[in-house]
Every structure is written in structure tokens, then in C-alpha cells.
Structure 1
Amino acid sequence: MKKQSLLLIGLFFMIFQCIIAQGSPDYTGGLKVKLNEDGSKYFRIISWAQFWAQHNSDRPSDANGNEQSELNFSIRRARVLMYAQINKDFLILTHFGLNSLNADNMSPVGTGDNSQLFFHDVWAQYSLSDNHAIGGGLHYWNGISRLNNQSTLNMMTLDNQRQAWATIGLSDQFARHIGVYVKGKFKKLQYRIAVNDAVTNNLQTSAVPVNDGAAIYSGRRLLGSKDAGKTYAGYLDYHFLDEESNFLPYKVGTYLGGKKVFNIGAGFFLHPNGSVVADGNGELSGEDVSIFAIDAFYDAPLGEGGAAITAYLLSQFNNYGEDFTLGSTYETGSLIHAHLGYVFASESKTKFQPYVQFDNRQIDAIDNQATSFGIGANAYFSGHNSKLTLEYFNTKYGDNDATGTVTLQAMIYL
């Protein structure tokens, strides 16, 4: 374990030195094509990829009892996003790609049962005024928290806090719902509110409630779309310092000192009859799913030379139904998450940012908690357009032994 972990650490610094030596061009990202002289009609294309080398000494044996490799490779994300405006009032966005492609879910010719490429977003929007808009489709205008609206282009930590993406695969398709939304701002208060359809076939599509047992998240499938088909979500945040853009739904993870931002936000997600329980006679009834959160985000330069700080705090309260759990990812209970990063001052365009993160989850079903701790560092060669991330992440769930993972990520964003 130590040898392979040291290999990843050594590889991180070797690549770091090589890229410093080769340099990296300044690049703002994306290809923007003007369709008229003043640029009011255009389309823009963005592409990014994240490659992971990951060491985990606690991987369980496979179904045949064979031991599994401790060092594994994967494509964490490979995406293409395009949006276009034919005039200032209309916007259309399309976003497709794949996630977590590895040797276990690849197929011989790329057409197996495991979906690879799929649409993440397909939505259209109409501007009601300069500050307000309405839209619909498969969209990412989510509620709950900043992290539930996180962009995967500019995260500070290796990946997003998983429980903050609180409805993935339960009521939506990979954090996206089909529905309608309104978004906008009143001076420094920004908002997004959505009414959506819940998915029928979710992660518990084959689950059946046990008499007097825990809830399962299958309301639409078992109770019908009339009683359990709609979800409601919203998020509001007040911008005390610099205002962030809400042109697109994706929240920035760290500005590396490019802005001075301090926001406080609050959000919700409601799914009436989203979960189902069975009484002692096997009769089914619905339980409302409700998730609420408050959070705060601070990102600012510190003095001269490019030093900067990023800090985030989230408190989230999850009610998926009586004693609900699904794996070690979703639970009725509460979550506190915090992360802190610091960019060292540098005269070079290459920036180095160590960070720490911490999670504490209170879980009703096991009357216990889960804790996580992560420490890592980003090396930015051209901002988020070219970076390396090395992270150690340790999780302890209930009475289970703690597990630790070391991950090296290389990311390119064009």
C-alpha cells in the first residue's frame, strides 16, 4: 500500500515539474463562434476530461472471491457542453458525456448494457427581463445548496461532497430533473426555483417495502405519478461582496482569488409521497421526502502576489422517510460539511493550493454517524483549464472500519 501511494505522490510531483518546464498557454476556455457581426447571435462549445489513478487497499473481493487490484484507473468525467443564443431572449443548452468509465464497466465495442454517453442537460430558456428568466427541459437549476448546483469544471476538492448531490438516481437522472424553472435576481439576492417530474425507475426500482420496515424511495413507481410524481426545489443566496454570474446554473468551486465573494444561501427539495412504507398488513402509504440546507461561501484574494483563500460551510437536513438508508450514500439524518483551501502567492501563472475537508453525518437508521476527512492539493498550470489534484480521503461509516483512498487526478478543460 505504502509503495503504491508513494508512487502516486511521486507521479504528481513529476508531472508537476514537467508541465512547469513546458509552460502552459493562457486560455479562457471554450470555443465561441459569432453568427453575426456584433456577436449577439453565437454558440459556444466547452469540453473537459478528468482522468483518475486511484489507490485503495480496502477493495472487497469480486463475486467469485478473487482479490481486487489496489491501484486502478478511470475516466472520472468526459463531457461536451454547448449553448447558443439566437438573440438575447432565447438560450438553448446541450450537455452530454460519460462518468466513471473503468475496466469493470467498459464493454467490448462500447455498446454494452452500461450506458456510456448520455445527455446530462438539454434545456431552453426565455428571458422575462434583464434579471429574470424561465426555462424547461432536462436541467440543473437545482435547490438545496451551492454544492447541489456545483460545476464539475472548477471544484476545489477532488470531487463534490457526495451527500450534497442529495437526489442523484433517486428522483432524477444524474442530478438533473425534467421540468420547468424560473431563475433571476433582485439586486444582490439570487434565486432559482423548479417544479419537476420525479423519475419512475430509480436506484430502488426493484425494492419492495418490508412490513413495518424502513422506507424505500419508490413513491412514483408504487403509488403513481398523480400522488408522487412531482418534486419542488429552490435555492436563494445573498451576495454581500462581488456578485457571481447566474447566466448558467453551475456554481464555481474556487475563483483562485479572481473575485472577492461572500454569499450566504438556503435551499430546499420537497417530494410529496416520494418514499413508501408498508404497515403490518402490507398496506402501502407514502412519506414525504424533504431536504433543507443553509450554507456560506467565501473566496477572496489575500494581499499581494496572488495568495487567496476559499472557504465553505454546509449544514444539511435530510428526511428520505422512516429510517431510510441506501448503501452508505443516502440516509435520513443530517450532514455538516466544511472545506478550506489556500492559494500560495506566486509570481508565476502556476498556482499551488493545498486544502482540507471534513464531513460529519448523523444517521437515524443506525443511531450512529459517519465521518470523513480529506487532505489534498491542486497544482494549476493555467487556472482550471489545466490542473493536477492529489488527495487522500478517509471515511468511517458507523461501526465499520475506516477506509482510505489516495487519488491522483489530471484535468484538461478546453
Structure 2
Amino acid sequence: MGTKRVFNLGAGFYHQKDGTRTSVNSQIEKHDIALYAIDAFADLPLGNAKNKMALSAYTGFYNYNFGPNYLRNLGIMNVGSNDPNFIGDKAIAGAGNLQPMIGSGNIYYLQAGLLLPSNADKPKIRIQPFAAYTNKNFKALENSSSQFDVGANWFIDGHHAKLTTQYSTRPTYTSASAEPKSKGEFILQFQIYL
């Protein structure tokens, strides 16, 4: 929370023999799972130490192989359902806020936030505006997607409680060969640490 310099580098891998399977014409093929990642995190105090202002940044590159053209679509707390009367182009991910989230291919992620100076009148409340960029390049889709997030963390009593407000874009594909379109979503989340 803006009191010390922090810099971390990370790297990791995961391998599972015959971790996934595909079935084509009743023939089952086994595929190894191989995941590799590198990342970096920095938290750097800025300005006068009494203000406890800081710049935080995280970046990561992930190379995933779950087998040929593996693609998983996820939607956080998705309440969408298919409308049988819908006549437009349907997203291949499905209804609601589903999107291609993980699969064989590469993901690049970058996030940065600025912890604003502490307020003498309300020292237990801290605000951190942030922005993020994600690029996903999955083998099952001919075109990569770019996503953007912008929001703010509202820290209450350090990390004991946090309210996050965020606007995000997410890609929608109507076919594996289509250029992705972008849809927006607003996210509100609350976290308590005891």
C-alpha cells in the first residue's frame, strides 16, 4: 500500500501426460498438456513518503497447449440463456457474457494502477485507478483478440476490504474465422479479508 519497493519475477510450467482427449469418428486421441508462463510485478512508492502513493504494475506471458484447437469459453456468473427467437449472428461462445478465456495458444496480459495519496481526513480509505490490456491468440480462432479494462479499487482499512468498479471489453466471435467484435460489461465486486 505504497510503503515499500517491491519487484518480483516469476516463471513456471505444468505438464500432464495424456491430460486431454479428442474424439473424431469414434477414434480417441490423447494429448499432453504443457503450460509455460513468465511474469513480473512491481510496486513502487512515488513522491513524499507520508502520502503513501505508489505505482503498481503486473505483466505476464502465458503459452498454453491443451491439445489441437482446444478452446474453453467462460462467463463469470453468467445468467444468459439462448433466445430461440434471436435472428442476429450468434456468438460461438454462447449466450450471456461467455468469451474465449483459455485454450491452446498464447495470452499476454498487462495491468497498471496508481495508488492515490492518502487523505488525512479519511486515512482508512485508499483509491487506486487501474487499466489493463489482454491479447489472446488461440489456435482454434484465426484472429487474435484485444481486451481493455479500466476501473478503480477502493481499499478500506488496508487490504481488509476492497470494492472494485470496472468496465471491461470482451471479444465475441461469430465463427472461428471471423474478426472478433467487442462487447462491454460493467463489473462490481466486493472482497473481505479477515
Q: Which runs of 4+ in 1 moved over 6 A?
A: none
Task: Say how many residue pairs are matched.
Answer: 158
Give 2:54's aligned residue: 308
Distance 1:375 1:268 in 2: 30
Distance 1:395 1:266 in 2: 27
Match of 2:163 among 361, 384, 388: 388
- Scaled by the length of structure 2, the TM-score of the pair is 0.75
1:35-114 alignment, distance < 5 Å = none
Distance 1:339 1:411 in 2: 19
Give 2:117's aligned residue: 345
What whole-Å deviation, never above 9, does each CA across 1:369-388 have from its counterpart, x for those lacking one? 12211000112231121332
Give 1:332's aligned residue: 104
Please state if 1:405 is matched with 2:185: yes
Give 2:37's aligned residue: 293
| Higher relative contact order structure (alpha carbons within 8 Å, sequence separation ≥ 6) | 2
What whole-Å deviation, never above 9, does each CA across 1:47-102 have from its counterpart, x for those lacking one? xxxxxxxxxxxxxxxxxxxxxxxxxxxxxxxxxxxxxxxxxxxxxxxxxxxxxxxx
Distance 1:279 1:262, change over 3 A: same
Q: In structure 2, the residue corresponding to 1:257 is in which secondary structure?
A: coil
Distance 2:15 2:159 in 1: 34
CA RMSD between the two structures: 1.7
Is the strand fraction higher in 1 or 2? Answer: 2
Match of 1:319 among 65, 69, 73: 65
Give 1:272's aligned residue: 17
1:159-308 alignment, distance < 5 Å = 256-278=1-23, 282-304=26-48, 305-308=51-54
Distance 1:408 1:326, change over 3 A: closer
Distance 1:404 1:384 in 2: 28
Stretches of structure 2 that go unaligned for 5 or more consecutive residues are: 74-99, 174-178
Q: In structure 2, the residue corresponding to 1:296 is in which secondary structure?
A: strand
Give 2:82's aligned residue: none
Distance 2:191 2:103 in 1: 31
- The share of aligned pairs that are identical, in percent, is 31
Q: In structure 1, the residue corresponding to 2:144 is in which secondary structure?
A: strand
Distance 1:315 1:272 in 2: 23
Query: Which entry has the higher C-alpha Rg, 1 or 2?
Result: 1
- Give the Å deviation of 1:312: 0.6
- Give the Å deviation of 1:400: 4.4
Give 2:151's aligned residue: 376
Distance 1:284 1:260, change over 3 A: same
Give 1:192's aligned residue: none
Distance 1:278 1:257, change over 3 A: same
Distance 1:275 1:412 in 2: 36
- Give the Å deviation of 1:397: 3.7
- Give the Å deviation of 1:329: 2.3
- Give the Å deviation of 1:347: 4.1
For 1:385, the aligned partner's letter is H
Distance 1:407 1:278 in 2: 37
